[in-house]
Amino acid sequence: MAGTNPTKTLELNPQQWMDEIRGGNRQLLDEFYLNNREDFIGWGLNNYRIDREQLVDIYQDTIIIFYENILYNRIKDVSSNLKTYLYGIAKNLILKKFRDDRKIDRHEENVQEHLSFQAGYDFEDLSEIKGKVKTELDSLGEPCRSILELFYVENQNIETIAQKLDYKSKDVVKTQKSRCLKTLKEKILQANV
């Protein structure tokens, strides 16, 4: 796998490619998904006793974590191949899967490495907050729900959001987004009490 460029369609270097991805270019992500899929499955079939269907499932989860790590700027060393990084995530997921299938409750240190917040700060259990996000987001009226979804879930940039939602300027969207986020947080915290 060394030497091949997983981002072949556009002549982007890994850094530029990640910038595009962070900018909300989902088409590029789909392209990446399709371009690397067969290699990944071949690698899995050769190295593990896992069937194709399960490998596709693992591949999807791998890409999702990979994508998230790009969004959070967790991939620092892009001199090494992006693909190497991708397979690193996959190996951890596979090990975790084997452990889970054996019903062994392990400290998932390997997986944590890729799944957890790497901001350097260890916040204790956030599950209570994060569990309320979906419900409270759904209960937000428009345009808040759309703005927050487009920005945080679809990862579109402010300019695109302004166009899509027919706003005159980016600044209006920015202000609106801050207000909406504040409302969302308040609702979550109230629901927590």
Partner 1 sequence: MDPRIEQYLLGQLDENDKAAFEKEMENDSSLKEEVRTHAGVLQGLDEIRAEKLKSHFQELESNLPKEESNEEKVVEMQPSKGLGSIWKVAAAIVLLAIPTYLILNSGPTADELYNQYYQSYPNVITSTERSQEENPPEQNEALAYYESGNFEAAIEAFQAELEELPEAADMQFYLGVSQMETNRLEHAIESLTAVVESNNTQFRDQALWYLALAKMKNGNEVEAEGLLKHIITKENSYSTRAEEILEQL
Which residues, in sequence order, are CB contacts of 72 under 8 Å at separation 6+? 117, 118
CB of 97 to partner 1, least distance (A): 8
Which 63-102 positions form the footprint of partner 1 (CB under 8 A)?
Answer: 63-64, 67-68, 71-74, 94-95, 97-99, 101-102
CB of 107 to partner 1, least distance (A): 8
Query: What is the size of the binding site for partner 1 (CB under 8 A)?
Result: 62
Residue number, 11 or 38, with CB nearest to partner 1: 38
Q: Is residue 96 a contact partner of residue 111, using CB atoms and an 8 Å limit?
A: yes
Which 113-152 positions form the footprint of partner 1 (CB under 8 A)?
Answer: 117-121, 123, 126, 128-134, 137, 148-149, 152
What gap in Å lies between CA 140 and CA 78, rounded to an integer? 39
Phi-psi region of 49 (alpha: psi -120 to 50; beta: other; left: phi over 0): beta
CB of 171 to partner 1, least distance (A): 14
**Whole-Å CA distances, 59 to 67, 129, 150:** 12, 29, 25
Residue number, 79 or 166, with CB nearest to partner 1: 79
Task: Determine if 50 is a binding residue for partner 1 (CB under 8 A).
Answer: yes
Q: Read off the DSSP letter of residue 149.
A: I
Total Cβ atoms within 10 A of residue 54: 14
Which tokens sit at 35? Answer: 């371009």
What gap in Å lies between CA 7 and CA 108, rounded to an integer? 30
Which candidate, 97, 61, 67, places its Cα nearest to that of 82?
A: 67
Residue number, 11 or 123, with CB nearest to partner 1: 123
Query: Which residues of this protein are in contact with partner 1, per CB under 8 A?
Result: 30, 33-34, 45, 47-52, 54, 56, 60-61, 63-64, 67-68, 71-74, 94-95, 97-99, 101-102, 104-106, 109-110, 117-121, 123, 126, 128-134, 137, 148-149, 152-155, 178, 181-182, 184-185, 188-189
